[in-house]
Amino acid sequence: MSDKPSVLFVCVHNAGRSQMAAGWLRHIAGDTIEVRSAGSEPADHLNPVAVQAMREVGIDITGQTPVRLTWDTAEASDVIVTMGCGDTCPVFPGKRYEDWKLTDPAGQPIDIVRQVRDDIRARVATLVAELRPLPSSPGSTGGHGSAGSAR
């Protein structure tokens, strides 16, 4: 078992929202958080408009492939973030869940997908702040570490 937290992003097709969230998490957290994404009914390929929107902010998700959600993937994750899969996303006992209400980018124009991308970025940044311990530096007293917890 790894000491670093793991996050699983789940949407229906694992082609848009969950892939953008995984891209943002890798970008923001680096290797401090393990990143997974999956879909209850995975598509054959990524949403090209989601790929374009992420490319615009310097994040390349083209190497990712939609994958099916499995029990093992969910069981190995500390946090499960669902995005619009409703009852098709199974519940795994003992896991922290967040359900992010986001517009499905499938079939949407780039302007809408950019809004979804930016909304996901803000949510991922908050999640990272909650999961990743504050770095300690020599001489730091750590007395102001909780000041940024307001939403």
Catalytic residue ranges: 11, 85, 89
Cα–Cα distances in angstroms (integers) from residue 80 to residues 22, 48, 77, 115, 119, in the given order: 12, 25, 7, 22, 18
Q: Give, in degrees to the nearest 5, the angle at Cα 94 between 93 and 99.
A: 80
Nearest in space to 134 (alpha carbons), one of 149, 119, 124, 122: 149
Nearest in space to 77 (alpha carbons), one of 37, 132, 111, 120: 37
Cross-strand bridge partners of residue 50: none
- Residue 108 near residue 77 (C-beta atoms within 8 A): no
